[in-house]
Structure 1
Amino acid sequence: MCYKLVERYSVCRCLYFQHSIDPCSAYGQRGHSVQEKTVLVGYACTQHSARGTSTSPQDGRWPDSGYCSLKGSCR
């Protein structure tokens, strides 16, 4: 299976960087697909991190990802 790694901002999902395809031995053959793997980086792109956009905090604080909220406090 071939993989393409794509890096996206975690909040707005805008493209940060797209890597080239890591080909396998079946690359280019009929019916072969490329699986996209996404890695989340940073928080928001410059366009979506400006004040007044829909992804900016409403009360001056950014919401957490929910990762630690589910299990209690993070250490």
Structure 2
Amino acid sequence: MCYKVVERYSVCKCLYFEHSIDPCQAYGQRGHTVQEKTVLVGYACDRHSRSSGGPRRSDSGYSSEKGSCR
């Protein structure tokens, strides 16, 4: 079974980073599915941490520039 790891902010669930698929031998065959695994990182994205009025908390230390809000 193939897996794709997706990192999301733990509070707002906005996308932080989407990793490429880790393919198995059946990748690309008919009826084969890719299972998504979500890893929660940081607290909230810049957009949601500013709008909440609460204290800003830092993320996990990875570059947040590639993240996007839903």
> The TM-score by the shorter chain falls in which range?
0.7 to 0.9
Q: How many residues align?
A: 55
CA offsets 1:7-65 (integer angstroms, 9 cap, x no match): 00000000000000000000000000000000000000000000xx3x444xx7xxxxx
- Alpha carbons of 1:40 and 1:4: their partners in 2 closer, same or farther (altered >3 Å)? same
| Sequence identity (%) | 76
> Over alpha carbons, which structure has the higher Rg?
1
Gaps of 5+ in 1: 61-75
Query: C-alpha root-mean-square deviation of aligned residues, in Å?
Result: 1.3
The TM-score with structure 2 as length reference comes to: 0.74
TM-score by length of 1: 0.69
Q: Which structure 2 residues correspond to residues 28-67 of structure 1 after superposition, within 5 A?
A: 28-50=28-50, 53=51, 55-57=52-54
